[in-house]
Amino acid sequence: MEKGEPRACRDVIKDNISETCTCQKNFTVYESFEKNVYLYYGLDNFYQNHRRYVKSRDDKQLLGKDDTAVSNDCSPFGTDGEGMVYAPCGAIANSMFNDTLKLFEIKLGGQAEELNLIKTGIAWPSDRKIKFNNPPGSLNSTGAFKNNVKPPYWTKNVYELDKQDPSNNGYKNEDLIVWMRSAAFPTFRKLYRKIDHNMTGFKFSFPKGQYYLEVEYNYPVDSFGGKKRMILSTTSFLGGKNNFLGIAYITVGSVDQLNINQNTPYSD
């Protein structure tokens, strides 16, 4: 990576979409949140609810039943030039959010410790159980997905989404499942991770203190005037809104810092 003049990641990926750009953002939690705390990413001005977008998927394919022919709805992301079927097909899958977010707690001594984030249980169980199933065969290019290619905008194949956990791989990957549920409004958030409250100090809450967010910046939102946000949120039984004591903080904080790195200098 080039050092020197810091560049915003958005500019970096504007020039070269495949370049890896990482940025980080410090933030302070002034009051501890009660558990459970969830990590969301948010997108602004992103029309997941556009008619042409919403229908651009093939639920049959995602059932893992038929991987050779896909619905016309997926067009133009149904098959590639050689007739290979994109897995998964359609505009929704093709535009899946692919930033990687990491949270670090800055300890008193100044050293940072990465927080454990749980990546399962973020999707609806019904989706995982019923709607998303992998085709029969092992999750690789010769097995379940032998007739498929990765969607054009993807950097990795569907069977590489979570190599560590086979139950969270392929179509059953919860990040994919969460993304595939189209949001209702152009400003939306999606559950990214759950904070692991088994960590020391996190048993009962998300303690106040200094943290920073590290983002592997891949997802371009600049072209349509979009914004990205990271939201840390606890919930009450009513869900996300009135729950945060730190609502003001998070809102303010989010705006500052979760507009991810519009201005954050690139650093290592």
Partner 1 sequence: MTSVPKTFLIGSSGEEHKEMIKMMVLSCPSCTSPAHPDDDSGGGGSDGEGGMGGGVGGGLGGMGGGAGGVEHRTVYLNEPQPHKYCSNAVCTAKYRFKLLFFLPMFLFEQFRRYANVFFLIIALLQQIPGVSPTGRYTTLVPLICILVVSAIKEIAEDIKRHRADDELNKREIEVLKDGQWQWIKWRHIQVGDIVKVRNNKFFPADLVILASSEPQALCYVETANLDGETNLKIRQGLPQTSNLLEARDLMNLSGKVECEAPNRFLYQFTGNLKQTSRPGVMEDTNGVLYQEEMFIWDEEEQEKATPLSPDHVLLRGAKLQNTNWVFGLVVYTGHETKLMKNSATSAPLKRSTVDKQTNNLIILLFFLLIVLCLIMAVCNSQWDAKLHWYLSIDDLSVFNFGINFITFIILFNNLIPISLQVSLEVVRFIQAGFINNDTNMVYEENDIWAMARTSNLNEELGMIKYVLSDKTGTLTCNIMEFKRCSIGGTVYSMDDGSCQDLVTLVESGGAGASVARQFLTMLGVCHTVIPDRDESRGDGSIIYHAASPDERALVEGARELGFVFETRTPECCIIDVLGSKEQYEVLNVLEFTSARKRMSVIVKTPDGQIKLYCKGADTVIYERLGDSQQFRDLTVRHLEEFAAEGLRTLCYAVADISPEFYEEWKNTYYKASTALQFRERKLEDAAQLIENNLTLLGATAIEDRLQDEVPETIAALLKAGIHVWVLTGDKQETAINIGHSCHLLNQGMPLIILNTESLDETRDAINRHVVEFGEQLKRENEAALIIDGKTLIYALTPDLRKDFLDLCISCKSVICCRVSPSQKAEVVELLTRETGSVTLAIGDGANDVAMIQKANVGVGIAGLEGLQAACASDYAIGQFRFLARLLFVHGAWNYSRLCKVILYSFYKNICLYVIELWWAAMSGWSGQVLFERWSIAMYNVLFTAAPPLVMGIFDRSCSAETRMKYPELYRESQSGSHFNWKVFVWWVWLALVHSVLVFVLPYLSMTQDVAWGHGRVGGYLMTGNMVYTYVVITVCLKAGLETDAWTWVTHLAIWGSIASWFIFLLVYSNFWPILPMAPDMCGIYLQVYSSPVFWFGVILIPLACLLPDIVVKTIRNSICKSLTEQVRESEISNKDVSKVLDTKHRLTETARLLKNVFRRTTTRVNLEVELAPTSTKVSWVSNLKTWYATSHEPPSRGHWFVMQVNDGHQPKYMGTHSLKRNMESWVNQK
Residues 43-72 that bind partner 1 (CB under 8 A): 46-54, 59-60, 63, 72
Binder of partner 1 out of 10, 189, 228, 229 (CB under 8 A): 189
Residue type, 21: C
What is each CA distance from 60 to 3, 16, 151, 224, in whole angstroms?
A: 47, 34, 17, 31
Binding status of residue 228 toward partner 1 by CB under 8 A: no
Spatial distance between the Cα atoms of 89 and 59, rounded to a whole number of angstroms: 10
Closest CA to 253 of 218, 211, 207: 211
- Tell me: does residue 223 bind partner 1 (CB under 8 A): yes
Provide the phi-psi class of 137: left if phi over 0, else alpha when psi is between -120 and 50, else beta. Answer: left
Of 140 and 222, which has the nearer Cβ to partner 1? 222
Q: Given candidates 28, 31, 130, 167, which one binds partner 1 under the rule CB under 8 A?
A: 130
Query: What would the 3-class secondary structure string for 34-51 be?
Result: ECCEEEEEEEECCCCCCH
Residue 169 binding partner 1, by CB under 8 A = no
Look at residues 176, 5, 184 and name the one whose alpha carbon lies nearest to residue 96.
176
Number of residues that bind partner 1 (CB under 8 A): 54
Per rule CB under 8 A, is residue 91 in the interface with partner 1? yes
Residue placing its CB nearer to partner 1 in the complex, 25 or 128: 128
Binding site for partner 1 (CB under 8 A): 36, 38, 40, 46-54, 59-60, 63, 72, 76-77, 91, 94-95, 122-127, 130-131, 178, 181-191, 194, 220, 223-225, 233, 235-241
